[in-house]
Structure 1
Amino acid sequence: MKFQMPLYKFSFKFGFALVLIAVLAGTAGLAGAKPVKRTVAGQSAPEQGPLYATRPDAMQFADDLASRRDLNADWVRDTIGQSRYIPTISRLMQPSDKPFVKNWRVYRSRFIDPIRIEAGARFWLSNRSTLERAEKEYGVPAEIIVGIIGVETIYGRNTGSFRVMDALATLAFDFPASHPRAAERSEFFKSEIEQFLTLQSRRGVDPFEAKGSYAGAMGMPQFMPSSWIKYAVDFDGDGTIDLWNSPADVIGSVASYFKAFNWQPGMPTHYPVSFDTSRLDMDALLAPDILPSFGVASFTAKGAVLEGAALQHIGPLALIELLNGPDAPSYVAGTENFYAITRYNWSSYYAMAVIELGREVAARVKPVTP
């Protein structure tokens, strides 16, 4: 899985900022700005700072890591030492000092567009049997898998161009001190370095070959190293896991991820919802945020109005609020499967983009039933 921010409100800013960065960099993917090796249209190559071989704290971390993981100490020291500080990455992680207005319609427009829909249809048609197999084995619908890969990287078009080791080292040892959770985030990225070096040692692959997002997320599904180790699968059966070049491995790994986060086969992701203003307790409905917390009876008792199949839903619901800037918000009743999508990226806006992109692609590839 890609880099997760464990606060919903901050994660929306993080994800939306990635979109804007991508657009400014001439890309359309969520993975982040693509470093340019040449000067074009006023853009210059990203700055490169010193090697981490000059940092005693980084070298001490390397020694401790090698001891903990029983890895070759010289190899670990050399790998971390040859990683380079990238100032651009640190800047991208700094909290914005400008007011941020959430807008679902703007966010949606970044992902539900003809480019992604057409690319998604081609991906689906090329991998139809694999998607069907993944749905059968893991219970995750093809349209959710296709939606994830499309939102993340436009089906492999934008997987990121930062060296993963540079990104992880920069965020482990130089996470912006101005961030309110800098110490916690730094420790997170140190643990990702440990997972990444363990993974690359196991695979026998040069750590500097891997390129990804500025947060160190990799491949078509933008998995962080820890997610690769926990959830990635060899779905094409060739003896290796390749999340850059094997659509089958990507499809199986995304499905494996959702199964691990309790995807419920056959359950909708959300239902339409309206409100009975005479008994509406909006504060209570929104208090749990995106965590499903209300049975149907308690949900409707607080003024939420459900119809049809939603009234027969088994399991908890959450009121999902999607702000639209100065206009009225949009609302849906989210199920446990909606919540499962937010485990990939901690944002209800992201989850809705995945769902709606998947549906648009499905409508393009599935024959219309008379």
Structure 2
Amino acid sequence: MKYYLLWVVLLFSTLVNAVEIKLGDYKNRADVNQFIERMAWQSDYTELELIELFSGVKKQSHLFELLDKPAEKELDWHEYRHIFIRDKRIEQGAKFWRQHAKLLSEIRLKTGVPEEIILAIIGVETFYGVYKGKDPVFDSLVTLAFDYPKRSAFFSRELEQFLLLVKEQNLDPRTLRGSYAGAMGMPQFIASSYRSYAVDFDGDGQANLFDSIPDIFASVANYFVKHGWRANEAVAGPLTALDNNSINLLKPGFKTTYKWSDLVQNGLYSKTVLDPDTAVALVKLQQKNGPEYWVGLQNFYVITRYNHSELYAMAVYQLSLLIKDRMKQE
């Protein structure tokens, strides 16, 4: 028994030592070695494959400041809006619509998600595919998973999802570029969203969010459907504050935590006709000369599932309206 236990200990020690990164910025990291062991055990990767991948990682230290100061938290609405609501972005959205009108119409009929919403998402995210991001996705996710403690759990899961994704889609993890947070392709899906919501709409056997326009449009629509998009329903509407209002008693945000009757009782009015029991959000947007208020409905909340910010959702919504208006002018 004594010799058997010694053999077990030696065997275990050999297995542990077998997983060791000896090159790159993440060499001699016990936490990384443990991740590799777990990933190899749970997936089709071998330890040697993963060691080779991780040995080439370069730490992306510049990401920390970008994550700590996103535009949605640093800017007021009038500043944020100016980034996205520009004539060039509107015209390019209309051009995309003209080029892919039949496809967009087919997707709208199947999903209930309007053409202008799909286009506005892609317009805000990557200017219709022009700016997909330059950061190496794999290196970024490794950096954030192991050296960004405040969100390490989230990025560890995304790193795992990314490795599974590239294996499933037969992609090279070392060549993919994306946003500083690991979002990829024209619609900027993170790995978990890619695996959960991407659609192979062109039927070629691969959900391609980098080059396939049918897959890209359909995947954005599918994302919205899965998060509760309601076909043919409104998104948001401007509010007027009546005299002697009590807006200060309400908490602004993008979640539909109020009933429309709550806003009315506190002195808010909208031209949009709503049932008193309709679930709504009170959206506050800071303009140069003070705040303006909007009522956000279920579909507005759904847009925030793409990016958890009322500024982002409003930029998408207003861009969508302007793209639609541009199409009507033709």
Structure 1 residue 129 corresponds to structure 2 residue 102: yes
Please, what TM-score do these two structures have when normalized by structure 1? 0.78
1:164 to 134, 137, 141: 137
In structure 2, the residue matched to 1:333 is: 295
Kindly provide the amino acid, as one letter, of the partner of residue 241 in structure 1: A
User: Using the alignment, how far apart are the partners of 2:50 and 2:284 within structure 1?
Assistant: 46
The amino acid of 1:118's aligned partner reads: E
Corresponding position of 2:307: 345
- Could you say what secondary structure the match of 2:57 adopts? coil
Separation in structure 1 between the aligned mates of residue 239 and residue 171 of structure 2, nearest angstrom: 50
1:61-100 to 2 correspondence within 5 Å?
A: 61-94=35-68
Query: d(CA) in 2 for partners of 1:94 and 1:333?
Result: 29
- Runs of 4+ off more than 3 Å: 311-314
Q: 1:43 aligns to what?
A: none
Q: Shift in Å at residue 315 of structure 1?
A: 2.5
8 A Cα contact 1:321 1:329, kept in partner = yes
Matched residue, 1:363: 325
Partner amino acid, structure 2, of 1:317:
V
Describe the SS at the equivalent of 1:320: strand
What displacement does 1:275 show?
1.8
Q: What's the counterpart of residue 262 of structure 2? A: 298
Distance 1:53 1:88 in 2: 20
Deviation track 1:13-55 (CA, whole Å, cap 9, x = no partner) reads: xxxxxxxxxxxxxxxxxxxxxxxxxxxxxxxxxxxx9432443
Distance 1:313 1:152, change over 3 A: farther
State how far apart, in whole Å, the 2-side matches of 1:205 and 1:66 are: 18
Deviation track 1:223-252 (CA, whole Å, cap 9, x = no partner) reads: 000000000001111211111111111100
Is contact 2:261-2:277 (8 Å) kept?
no
Structure 2 residue identity aligned to 1:301 = Q
- Aligned residues of 1:295 and 1:317 also touching (Cα < 8 A): yes
Which structure would you say has the larger RCO, counting Cα contacts within 8 Å and 6 or more residues apart? 1
**Whole-Å Cα distance in 1 between the matches of residues 318 and 171 of structure 2?**
37
| Shift, 1:91, TM fit | 3.4
Residue pair 1:59, 1:80 contacting (<8 A) in 2 also: no
After TM superposition, the structure 1 = structure 2 runs for residues 41-60 of structure 1, keeping only pairs within 5 Å, are 50-60=24-34
Change (3 A) 1:263 1:211: same
Q: Which letter does structure 1 place at the counterpart of 2:264? A: T
> Where in structure 1 are there 5+ consecutive unaligned residues?
1-48, 176-181
Deviations 1:161-207 (A, max 9, x none): 111101101111111xxxxxx34x11111111100111111122221
Q: Which deviations, in whole Å up to 9, do the C-alpha atoms of 1:131-190 show, x marking residues without a partner?
A: 111111111111111000000000000001111101101111111xxxxxx34x111111
Q: Which amino acid aligns with 2:259?
A: G
Q: Give the unaligned 5+ runs of structure 2.
A: 1-22
Residue 283, structure 1, aligned to residue 245, structure 2: no
Contact 2:94 2:327 in 1 (8 A): yes
Q: 1:333 to 1:133 in 2, by over 3 A?
A: same
AA in 2 matched with 1:281: S
Residue in 2 aligned with 1:192? 158
What is the total number of aligned residue pairs between the two structures? 306
SS at match of 1:193: helix
**TM-score, with structure 2 as normaliser:** 0.87
Tell me the amino acid that sits aligned with residue 320 of structure 2.
G
Which has the larger displacement, 224-233 or 86-95? 86-95
Report which of the two structures shows the higher radius of gyration computed on alpha carbons. 2
State the alpha-carbon separation in 2 of the partners of residues 264 and 204 from structure 1.
Answer: 35
CA distance in 2, matches of 1:240, 1:197: 16
Partner in structure 2 of residue 324 of structure 1:
287
Aligned counterparts of 2:309 and 2:69: Cα–Cα separation in 1: 17
**SS in structure 2 at match of 1:330:** strand
